[in-house]
A and B are shown apart, each in its own frame.
Chain A
């Protein structure tokens, strides 16, 4: 009844090509944006910000980035954790070297630094594919983390080997450091998430996104029809690493406040983001958000249920969580290999015909 395209006549090409051609989708999108920007800041508190909303927004950016690389361009990467570390250490070096620079620019610049590193480690993708490439990105993961823990310059020779974010302000509000309020942390992450999602959506709709998808579907055929594989693969690595770098910078400056490369950005982070992308759905912007929400909220709920609800020991709950995540990945791959996004698509197809399916 509600979800219809019939009767929604488009009179211009612009209207026909818009991101959400169906009215219901469009209003839903406006509603979510309005809720996130106007209502959430009023009701958010420290617990919600720290345990769910802020990590969700930050990991959604990382999942968007990895989804561009794996879902749109078909290049498997296991180095996400290390690229997040590049973003984090990049933002730390920029913050300490240029104390006057606004934190927003610091985070964007950290994204560009990560993009450069990503292109460097993306170079082998021109010759190698699939699992082989995955192993090559593992080299990035282990080498970069080793570099950050061994080279004192990266953590400004601090005796603990940790980096910690100094206090920075946006519009007079502290967004990093211990005095940052839940609202300001939430708002800066939200702005970055919306901006990157908008960018990702429009990049993947455009010529660049089509080139990526052509490379993903079959690279030799894509090359024959005139896609330059060098440009397509390297831009995918650059854009993906840019997003992942922003996510790492936000994770360190806003959320963690202090970090150590091996501890905060290990291989488990790479897998976490990879799982978000798989469970959410490869090649879907909505999927990146759905996957991030699922893997951030799921463990919190599980812990609430097992530890607070049933009174089980925390280590047992942690093991159960690992087991359940593994089982969920298997179930998703068997039942719906294209993730939550595909489920959502099926629901929308059904909704179109409801209440008169044929």
Chain B
């Protein structure tokens, strides 16, 4: 086998694993869009906020210590204990649920029946607000996140591919774990939405708000539920991205990368989010691999958006989206 083909295959595999990461963020978007028709721009910042909170709990940081120090001249920084990961993750989940309640109480409730564009802008405002709160609460420096997931080159993949092709592929073990966890998450979400009472209510709301209201489903509870689930998905995404490249501001930018993923997959489809993420991941790695020598590197910055743009021209509703029907 030629070297180029082997390298291309490795790039494809790396693209698949990167795509899983994008899909994780896109999942949160799809959940909220389906249940409330809100295009939640804050999903990426929610991932950042969740990861920051998790690290803060783990290392026993005092929230808002920076602000308190500035206001009262104290020198607080840590409680002096470390929370075990198994305790810190449920604590963070609680924080994300609290966040969902607050978002519903203070924002969504007041914006019922507004145009989608106003709701979209509100989530941009929320993104900025959360970013500021996260930084003030836990400090803005880059933090290492370690929840005990294995890292580094996967020996098994390396050995197996070396035995087959005479060339070992480099795959991060963390990304294999990420793929497994993403699959579990999707399975759990599917079971939840198909077989539980609340899941059915959620699907009913997604289908038709008014009809759901008229059979006695509480819209406000469903919104809190959706935003909580999106918060938990954000936490999972935050853990994965955070363990890969540290918890830092650029984490919230992956939200932007999730947008083309959504466009490819369709805003309303969970499988679409996964498939879209994989296509974008593989596409940008392969494009970078073949085109970098010709037009210069770092094409990953824009390839996903351009692919989405071209794709939109042919199929505006995405691969798995519902057909858009317009009436006057």
Q: Assess the A329–B309 pair: CB atoms within 8 A.
A: no
Q: How many residues of A contact B (CB 8 A)?
A: 48
| Segment from A42-50, A98-106, A313-321 that makes contact with B | A313-321
Say which residue of B67, B126, B128, B316 sits within 8 Å of A128 (CB atoms): B316
Question: Can you name 19 A-B pairs with beta carbons within 8 Å?
Answer: A135-B259, A135-B262, A138-B259, A139-B306, A139-B308, A274-B121, A278-B121, A320-B132, A321-B132, A322-B128, A323-B132, A326-B132, A328-B125, A329-B121, A329-B128, A330-B129, A334-B110, A334-B122, A337-B114
Q: Assess the B312–A124 pair: CB atoms within 8 A.
A: yes
Question: B130 an interface residue at 8 Å Cβ cutoff?
Answer: yes
State the CA gap A319–B128 with chains docked (Å). 10
| Segment from B8-16, B75-83, B208-216, B295-303 that makes contact with A | B295-303
Q: Assess the B312–A142 pair: CB atoms within 8 A.
A: no
Q: In whole Å, how far is B251's beta carbon from the nearest beta carbon of chain A?
A: 15
Question: B223 an interface residue at 8 Å Cβ cutoff?
Answer: no
Q: In whole Å, how far is B195's beta carbon from the nearest beta carbon of chain A?
A: 31
Question: B328 an interface residue at 8 Å Cβ cutoff?
Answer: yes
A contact residues around B259 at 8 Å (CB) = 134-135, 138
| Segment from B90-98, B133-141, B225-233 that makes contact with A | B133-141
State the CA gap A105–B263 with chains docked (Å). 41
Say which residue of A138, A218, A328 sits within 8 Å of B305 (CB atoms): A138
**Given A124-B312, A131-B120, A330-B129, A312 contacting B305 (CB threshold 8 A):** no
Mark B130-155 against chain A: 1 for CB-CB distance below 8 A, else 0. Answer: 11110110001000000000000000
State the CA gap A130–B39 with chains docked (Å). 11
Question: A231 an interface residue at 8 Å Cβ cutoff?
Answer: no
Q: How many residues of B contact A (CB 8 A)?
A: 51
A contact residues around B110 at 8 Å (CB) = 334
Question: B111 an interface residue at 8 Å Cβ cutoff?
Answer: yes
State the CA gap A325–B129 with chains docked (Å). 7
Interface set, chain B 282-321, CB cutoff 8 A to A: 295-296, 298-299, 301-302, 305-306, 308-309, 312-313, 316
Q: Assess the B302–A127 pair: CB atoms within 8 A.
A: no
Mark A131-146 against chain B: 1 for CB-CB distance below 8 A, else 0. Answer: 1101110110111011
A contact residues around B127 at 8 Å (CB) = 326
B contact residues around A64 at 8 Å (CB) = none
Q: Assess the A316–B66 pair: CB atoms within 8 A.
A: yes
Q: In whole Å, how far is A276's beta carbon from the nearest beta carbon of chain B?
A: 12
Q: Assess the B125–A337 pair: CB atoms within 8 A.
A: no
B contact residues around A315 at 8 Å (CB) = 140
Q: Please, which residue of chain B has its CB at the minimum distance from the CB of A136?
A: B309
Q: Assess the B121–A333 pair: CB atoms within 8 A.
A: yes
**Given A326-B130, A327-B125, A330-B125, A319 contacting B135 (CB threshold 8 A):** yes
Mark B252-269 against chain A: 1 for CB-CB distance below 8 A, else 0. Answer: 000010011011000100
Q: Assess the B129–A220 pair: CB atoms within 8 A.
A: no
Interface set, chain B 102-119, CB cutoff 8 A to A: 106-107, 110-111, 114, 116-118
B contact residues around A312 at 8 Å (CB) = 70-71
Q: Assess the A333–B128 pair: CB atoms within 8 A.
A: no
Question: B326 an interface residue at 8 Å Cβ cutoff?
Answer: yes
Q: Please, which residue of chain B has its CB at the minimum distance from the CB of A76?
A: B117
Q: In whole Å, how far is A282's beta carbon from the nearest beta carbon of chain B?
A: 9
State the CA gap A235–B111 with chains docked (Å). 32
Chain A interface residues (CB < 8 Å from chain B): 76, 124, 127-128, 130-132, 134-136, 138-139, 141-143, 145-146, 150-151, 218, 220-221, 224, 267, 271, 274-275, 278, 310, 312-313, 315-316, 319-330, 333-334, 337
Question: B124 an interface residue at 8 Å Cβ cutoff?
Answer: yes
Q: Assess the A323–B129 pair: CB atoms within 8 A.
A: yes
Q: Assess the A124–B67 pair: CB atoms within 8 A.
A: no
B contact residues around A150 at 8 Å (CB) = 295-296, 298
Q: Please, which residue of chain A has its CB at the minimum distance from the CB of B318?
A: A132
A contact residues around B106 at 8 Å (CB) = 330
Q: Assess the A333–B256 pair: CB atoms within 8 A.
A: no
State the CA gap A122–B314 with chains docked (Å). 16
Q: In whole Å, how far is A149's beta carbon from the nearest beta carbon of chain B?
A: 8
Q: Please, which residue of chain B has its CB at the minimum distance from the CB of A147?
A: B302
A contact residues around B67 at 8 Å (CB) = 316
- Among B114, B121, B305, B326: residue with most chain A CB under 10 A: B121
Q: Please, which residue of chain B has its CB at the minimum distance from the CB of A319?
A: B135
Interface set, chain B 150-169, CB cutoff 8 A to A: none
Q: Please, which residue of chain B has its CB at the minimum distance from the CB of A224?
A: B328
State the CA gap A271–B252 with chains docked (Å). 14
Q: Assess the B132–A136 pair: CB atoms within 8 A.
A: no
State the CA gap A142–B122 with chains docked (Å). 23
State the CA gap A320–B133 with chains docked (Å). 8
Q: In whole Å, how far is B18's beta carbon from the nearest beta carbon of chain A?
A: 17
A contact residues around B70 at 8 Å (CB) = 310, 312-313, 316
State the CA gap A354–B315 with chains docked (Å). 56
A contact residues around B125 at 8 Å (CB) = 326-330, 333
Q: In whole Å, how far is B316's beta carbon from the nearest beta carbon of chain A?
A: 5
State the CA gap A316–B132 with chains docked (Å). 9
Mark B206-247 against chain A: 1 for CB-CB distance below 8 A, else 0. Answer: 000000000000000000000000000000000000000000
